[in-house]
Structure 1
Amino acid sequence: MTTTSTRVVEPAELDEVLAVLRREPVNNAFVASRVQASGLDPWRLGGEMWGWYVDGRLEALCYAGANLVPLCAGPEAVRAFAERARRQGRRCSSIVGPAGPTAALWAYLEPHWGPAREVRRNQPLMVTEHMPSGIEPDPYVRRIAKNEMDIVLPACVAMFTEEVGVSPLAGDGGLVYQARVAELVGSGRSFARIEDGQVVFKAEIGAATPLACQIQGVWVAPERRGEGLSETGMAAVIGYALRDIAPVVSLYVNDYNTPARAAYRRVGFREVGAFMSVLF
């Protein structure tokens, strides 16, 4: 008779966790990047990693930090993770992940945690393994230096506020958000075109593993939109990503953002699935 259980994984189980994450390297890039950088200690990881076990073997995961993220989770695992989350109470600011498991997780949790501030059920997941054809990378898009935090931070805040609907500076005064921006700048994964001391295009490689990386935070200054900066800028960032980080570059985008989806297709991205986000 099959037995299943759910618990917080132990730091000594790192190899088993990484093996599960490698099963879906694009879907799992965000969490895999954090695990590879921080291990499984909850304090360093920024949250707990829950494991779902079948006959003692680790089969699925759920990251429970600022985000609740189901990973390689089928219906039984999702149900087990939802029950654990329900008992614990909501501690996250969002639920995000592959659309199928995330939708199932939210269906269990909505009666207890709802209503959400916003639910984005279809966020196309896009990938590319090649440099764009016919679009020259913007030669002025470059890595942000550590002493340029004051220049790039206002653009990051503007992007986040426009995308999520709330300022990242609310609550703790922006300490956590500024630390995250500083982390990306310090690791050489923040890119921008700067003119006269102002960011006109920016993007970050928010997650990076040897198998895949994920671009996030793509933003063009409102007064410069329509000039093609997003396409040439993304071509430049793709070049950095493929050359320095991973063989597969991914991102996910809101389904209603037709201009962005078209721009990403023009630089060679193709849709391979969908994410879903529940925002509180």
Structure 2
Amino acid sequence: MLTQTTTRVLEPSDLPAALAVLHRDPVANAFVTSRVQVAGLDPWRLGGEMWGWYEDGMLASLCYAGANLVPLCATPRAIRGFADRARRAGRRCSSIVGPAESTALLWRLLEPNWGPAREVREHQPLMVTDRLSDTVAPDPYVRRVRKDEMETIMPACVAMFTEEVGVSPLAGDGGLLYQARVAELVGSGRSFARLDRHGKVLFKAEIGAATTQACQIQGVWVAPEYRGRGYAAPGMAAVLRYALADIAPVASLYVNDYNTAARATYRKVGFQEVGAFMSVLF
């Protein structure tokens, strides 16, 4: 019988132990690790709580509980503990996302209380590479987005998000949080785009998470009128070149399994499937 003392909300003093857990899987944990390295474990700065699961007095598993609920290096016993805490707290997140096996178990335990979900994406291949392609040359026109180009990049970001997630990021707070996130990526030099001759975004992508060990590419998008014309692979090769040269020795991404065109593009650029994520969208 699990007890409430098995899990607890971590405190700033738990940071070294939490980072030790996160570093066990630097690729899969990159999103949360990047936030923790910047904000620590203070819930206000982190944007959510970090729950810890202890076995024999040692921190063994984690679960980030913010806008997303994310199990990290979580064993089945830890997942049950996290599910119990999540049920008691009530749903505050817009999605559950993480490694497919642990996320699937967490959702099975929470669905009776939190369901139904708006959409469940059970298998999203996790793809990784540590080198540039020998066959795809980077698009020389893909570059970092400048800080004075927010009005140029935002419509493309909104279009990508709406197409990918199924709801607009401008809903709710009018898009303030989303615009702040886009501005953060632009300001840190992790937003990339190619513009057409009219100054409209043709291709774009971001390095959404970055640690010293791995980074995660996200938001890959080609304007509808330019799709099927060979811009995606060279664009991705260009972003990958920036990622490996300036950010981290390993680049990753995860993609919907039904997006066969995107998966083929990523394989062409050199990414290989090493696992799978799962997302539950509310």
**Normalised by the size of structure 2, how large is the TM-score?**
0.98
Partners in 2 of 1:137 and 1:183 — Cα distance? 25
Partners in 2 of 1:85 and 1:228 — Cα distance? 45
Matched, 1:246 2:248: yes
Partners in 1 of 2:35 and 2:21 — Cα distance? 14
Alignment of 1:73-152 (within 5 A): 73-152=74-153
1:43 corresponding residue in structure 2: 44
Cα deviation per residue 1:28-71 (whole Å; 9 max; x = unaligned)? 00000000111111011000000001122110000000000000
Partner amino acid for 2:219? G
Secondary structure, aligned partner of 1:77 = helix
2:227 corresponding residue in structure 1: 225
Partners in 2 of 1:80 and 1:245 — Cα distance? 35
2:25 corresponding residue in structure 1: 24
Cα deviation per residue 1:165-215 (whole Å; 9 max; x = unaligned)? 000000110001001000100111000001221000000000000111000
Partners in 2 of 1:82 and 1:198 — Cα distance? 45
Any gaps of 5 or more consecutive residues in structure 1? Answer: none
Partner amino acid for 1:148? E
Alignment of 1:193-232 (within 5 A): 193-195=194-196, 196-232=198-234
Cα deviation per residue 1:192-243 (whole Å; 9 max; x = unaligned)? 0012210000000000001110000000000000111110000000000000
1:255 corresponding residue in structure 2: 257
Secondary structure, aligned partner of 1:26 = coil
Partner amino acid for 2:23? R
Partners in 2 of 1:36 and 1:121 — Cα distance? 29
Secondary structure, aligned partner of 1:274 = strand
Partners in 2 of 1:46 and 1:228 — Cα distance? 39
Partners in 1 of 2:179 and 2:152 — Cα distance? 12
Partner amino acid for 1:277? S
Matched, 1:34 2:35: yes
Moved over 6 A (4+): none
Partners in 2 of 1:71 and 1:137 — Cα distance? 34
Any gaps of 5 or more consecutive residues in structure 2? Answer: none
Partners in 1 of 2:186 and 2:43 — Cα distance? 24
Partners in 2 of 1:132 and 1:9 — Cα distance? 41
Partner amino acid for 1:239? R
Partners in 1 of 2:71 and 2:122 — Cα distance? 15
2:6 corresponding residue in structure 1: 5
**Normalised by the size of structure 1, how large is the TM-score?**
0.98
Secondary structure, aligned partner of 1:192 = strand
Q: CA RMSD in A?
A: 1.1
Partner amino acid for 1:139? P
2:269 corresponding residue in structure 1: 267
Partners in 1 of 2:134 and 2:261 — Cα distance? 19
Secondary structure, aligned partner of 2:248 = coil
Partner amino acid for 2:45? R
Q: CA shift at 1:163, angstroms?
A: 0.3
